[in-house]
């Protein structure tokens, strides 16, 4: 993943510059491309998200480098379009195991390693340099700065809501316009979703709200406990909205790339199951988020494992044949929400069971009294204690994922303005995993 070819920094002090000159090498003047000098093991500036929509929040600077490498003695120097330095960010700590070190403007950046308000860089045009003491390790210019402090021709400017990223990660030809692409922001995760401009994927993610997902003490709405999740997906360039009413139809799924069903409380009819199955077979992505047994929030007689897998023959005492199978996920998608769970199940931390794009930057994720997933067809991705809590499968041209706990992706705000017990989204791994799941389902990862 990490590109081992990087440049050796140039020394800025005049006395050292003279020494370099006497050896036949001179430091780059302002606006002159930096030369290529290999320095294995140094980090590079890998991604810049400097212009978020509306009032800038959640901006960040991402470095990529060897896991465990210390950043003591390193700084980031930001320059305006005229080449005047307006900010210095002192780095500290080490590069995480993922290889991504994220300097976040604030705590809304889920994959942050270090918080520094200075990570909110100038919009439009400017330059950023990574320094080790006074040595230039890496540099990038973007837009049309009158004084270019980067390498080669500047990279494009992004526009609000998009990031500037090295594609592929860590690649360095010493030409910013070649190495950096405009794409959706991917803090702490692999780059590669270049949009070629404006920063929108033009893809739509739908969250189901037809099955009482906001009943009782649950509030899995994009304007409620999943508001942070929706905002994070919008930050990646997706259009996010809800399916409302009482049923899912082929019309309501038209134009969507991903359907998210978070802890449904009422069963699906045969017609709805057919619409969802057809959606997936034709290339759509389906994310099923279940919860533990005995989680009937609206007293309908159904909890979410039963809604996904079919009536268990207990309550309600009579169910129409059109609803007994409900979504039938075990049969048509190969993923079964296990009935072997209850409210007394422990809080666990699921960890990767294999390698997969969804697991980029993810070391663990909390399961807050959920259910395990029986993988009948597909791949188990995360688990603990011999049980799987995240699994995926491919059906037709589409993709399917199931996760065992709804509160994993929730924040602490309900749609009525009150607060509840769900405050898990800020967890680094949960947030990264949630975004990666949707990106994989949308075939952007």
Q: Which of 9-18, 119-128, 211-220 has the lowest mean pLDDT?
A: 9-18
Does domain 204-441 fall under CATH 3.40.47.10? My reply is no
pLDDT digits (tens, 9 = 90+) for 31-41: 434 443 335 67
Angle between helices 227-235 and 428-441 (to 10 degrees): 60
Backbone angles phi, psi at 149, to 5 degrees: -100, 15
Residue with more model confidence, 102 or 175: 102
414: tokens are 């309900």
- With contact defined as beta carbons under 8 Å apart, do 49 and 41 qualify? no
Judging by DSSP bridges, how do beta strands 204-208 and 239-243 pair with one another?
A: parallel
- With contact defined as beta carbons under 8 Å apart, do 287 and 279 qualify? no
- Predicted pLDDT of residue 27: 32
pLDDT digits (tens, 9 = 90+) for 316-348: 988 999 999 999 999 999 999 999 887 787 888
Given the structure tokens 């499968």, which residue do they identify?
393
Mean pLDDT value across the chain: 85
Residue 160 above 80 pLDDT? no
CA 253, CA 248: separation in Å to the nearest integer?
7
pLDDT, mean of residues 288-311: 95
Least Cα distance to 233 among 402, 436, 440, 435 occurs for 435
Contacts with 19 (C-beta within 8 Å, 6 or more apart), sequence order: none
Equal fold, 14-183 vs 204-441? no
Sort residue 169 into left (φ over 0), alpha (ψ -120 to 50) or beta: beta
- Predicted pLDDT of residue 12: 30
Q: How far is CA 417 from CA 203, 219, 223, 224, 244, in A?
A: 29, 11, 10, 8, 20
CA 291, CA 293: separation in Å to the nearest integer?
7
Annotated domain spans of the chain: 14-183, 204-441
Residue 199 above 70 pLDDT? no
Least Cα distance to 348 among 380, 381, 392, 385 occurs for 385
CA 34, CA 138: separation in Å to the nearest integer?
9
- Predicted pLDDT of residue 40: 62
CA 249, CA 251: separation in Å to the nearest integer?
5
Sort residue 372 into left (φ over 0), alpha (ψ -120 to 50) or beta: beta
- With contact defined as beta carbons under 8 Å apart, do 10 and 27 qualify? yes
Q: How far is CA 355 from CA 46, 171, 363, in A?
A: 22, 22, 11
CATH number of 14-183: 2.60.40.1260
pLDDT, mean of residues 353-358: 92
- Predicted pLDDT of residue 26: 29
pLDDT digits (tens, 9 = 90+) for 172-188: 888 898 888 888 888 99
- Predicted pLDDT of residue 39: 57
Least Cα distance to 338 among 365, 304, 368 occurs for 304
Residue with more model confidence, 341 or 310: 310
Sort residue 7 into left (φ over 0), alpha (ψ -120 to 50) or beta: beta
> What residues form DSSP beta bridges with 241?
206
């Amino acid at each position: 993943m990490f590109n081992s070819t990087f440049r050796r920094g140039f020394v800025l002090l005049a006395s050292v510059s003279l020494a370099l000159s006497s050896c036949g090498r001179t430091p780059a003047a302002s606006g002159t491309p930096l030369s290529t000098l290999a320095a294995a093991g140094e980090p590079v500036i890998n991604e810049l998200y400097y212009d978020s929509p509306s009032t800038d929040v959640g901006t960040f600077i991402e470095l990529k480098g060897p896991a465990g490498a210390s950043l003591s003695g390193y700084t980031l120097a930001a320059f305006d379009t005229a080449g005047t330095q307006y900010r210095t960010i002192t780095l500290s700590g080490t590069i995480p195991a993922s290889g991504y070190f994220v300097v976040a403007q604030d705590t809304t950046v889920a994959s942050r390693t270090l918080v520094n308000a200075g990570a909110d860089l100038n919009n439009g045009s400017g330059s950023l340099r990574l320094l080790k003491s006074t040595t230039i390790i890496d540099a990038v210019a973007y837009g049309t700065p009158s004084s270019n402090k980067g390498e080669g021709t500047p990279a494009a400017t992004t526009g609000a809501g998009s990031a500037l990223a090295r594609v592929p990660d860590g690649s360095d030809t010493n030409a910013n316009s070649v190495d950096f692409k405009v794409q959706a922001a991917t803090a702490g995760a692999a780059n590669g979703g270049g949009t070629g401009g404006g920063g929108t994927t033009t893809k739509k993610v739908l969250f189901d709200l037809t099955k009482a997902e906001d009943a009782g003490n649950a509030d899995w709405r994009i304007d409620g406990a999943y508001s942070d999740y929706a905002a994070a997906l919008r930050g990646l360039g997706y259009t996010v909205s809800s399916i409302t009413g009482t049923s899912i139809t082929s019309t309501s799924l038209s134009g969507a790339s991903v359907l998210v069903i978070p802890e449904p409380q009422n069963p699906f009819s045969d017609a709805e199951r057919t619409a969802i199955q057809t959606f997936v077979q034709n290339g759509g992505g389906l994310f099923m988020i279940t919860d533990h047994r005995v989680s009937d929030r609206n007293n309908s007689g159904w909890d979410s494992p039963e809604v996904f897998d079919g009536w268990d023959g207990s309550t309600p005492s009579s169910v129409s044949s059109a609803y007994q199978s409900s979504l039938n996920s075990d049969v048509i998608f190969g993923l079964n929400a296990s009935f072997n769970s209850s409210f007394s199940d422990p809080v666990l931390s699921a960890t990767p069971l294999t390698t997969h794009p969804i697991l980029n930057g993810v070391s663990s994720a909390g399961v807050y009294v959920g259910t395990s997933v029986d993988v009948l067809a597909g791949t188990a991705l995360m688990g603990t204690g011999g049980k799987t809590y995240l699994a995926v499968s491919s059906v037709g041209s589409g993709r399917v994922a199931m996760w065992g706990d709804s509160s994993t992706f929730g924040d602490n705000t309900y749609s009525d303005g009150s607060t509840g017990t769900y405050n898990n989204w800020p967890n680094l791994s949960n947030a990264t995993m949630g975004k990666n799941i949707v990106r994989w389902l949308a075939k952007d990862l």
